[in-house]
Structure 1
Amino acid sequence: MTDHLNKLPIAGNLVGEHFEGWSDAVKKEFEELALDGHVGSQLLFENHRVRVWEIRLQPGQRWHAHCHSLDYFWTAITPGRSRQRTFDGATREVSYVPGDTRFFTFGPGESLLHDLENVGDTELVFSTVELVESSNTPLSLGS
């Protein structure tokens, strides 16, 4: 499952490995939310082709572990800094400028499970667009 992680355009500098610094609660959350498809804090639009999400994080706020299984891209709307943990036990810190964009593609059965924490001193805002017609079936968003 981790081999494809090396091919993904994950941003940032590696600051930890092997779950270093992860609390037991965060490790448990990653297990419990391994198939959580809520990749943003607000679903702005959805149809048979795309899901458009917004994520807004205040300084110190963290978006829970969530799973990306559809091809998608994100764009930073505001400047800022984040820390993200990925399912392989790595922790990365990232700096963003408005307009930074990354595109991710997943083959059948591939996914990315990670969280996102605002470690800067200003609000961090992203737009994320998932392409529903990807190699994998969209994860359920529940009710």
Structure 2
Amino acid sequence: MAPPSVANISKGFRSMRILRNSVMARAAIPLIALTVTAASAQDAAVTDPNLYKVVFENDRVRVLEYRDQPGAKTSMHAHPAFLVYALSSFERRLTLPDGKVLNRTFSPGQILFSEAQTHMGENVGTTETHIIMVELK
């Protein structure tokens, strides 16, 4: 029996890859739809579009600019893992869904990394909050 040719082996791998990808794609469609629906329901750019502005987005990150004035509050919303870069000095209170309260004070240039989080925010200081937030996908 002659060994299979490189072209036949390559064609076989290509067929297996196409089949695998189509089966995986069909299985993932309901999960993708569920994830998008759940995420958009609590997306900060949707819940508080007057405070969050999407300034860049690709398949790896989303960059938001956030600004508010003293006394301003956000709706309850969620972020995937994220990085915050403070452009101003400010004080915030974050209230988590379980009622736990986190108080944060930032100085310009300060950077904070956080795992995914759902919270409601409030500017409890006397200065504007101004940040750049990079959400990881």
**TM-score, length of structure 1 as denominator length:** 0.59
Report what 2:99 is aligned to.
89
Between the aligned residues of both structures, percent identity stands at 33
> What's the C-alpha RMSD, in Å, of the aligned pairs?
2.1
Which residue, 54, 58, 73 being the options, matches 1:43? 54
Deviation, 1:113, is 0.9
State the secondary structure of the residue aligned to 1:48.
coil
Deviation, 1:54, is 0.9
Moved segments of 4+, more than 3 Å: none
Report what 1:61 is aligned to.
72
Q: d(CA) in 2 for partners of 1:34 and 1:82?
A: 24
The unaligned stretches of length 5 or more in structure 1 are 1-32, 106-110, 133-143
- The number of residues matched between the two structures is 94
Report what 1:129 is aligned to.
134
The unaligned stretches of length 5 or more in structure 2 are 1-38, 46-50
Residue 87 of structure 1 contacts residue 112 of structure 1 at CA under 8 Å; is this kept in 2?
no
User: Quick one: structure 1 residues 101 and 85, their matched pair in 2 at CA, closer, same or farther if it must change by over 3 Å?
Assistant: same
Deviation, 1:61, is 0.7
Higher helix share: 2
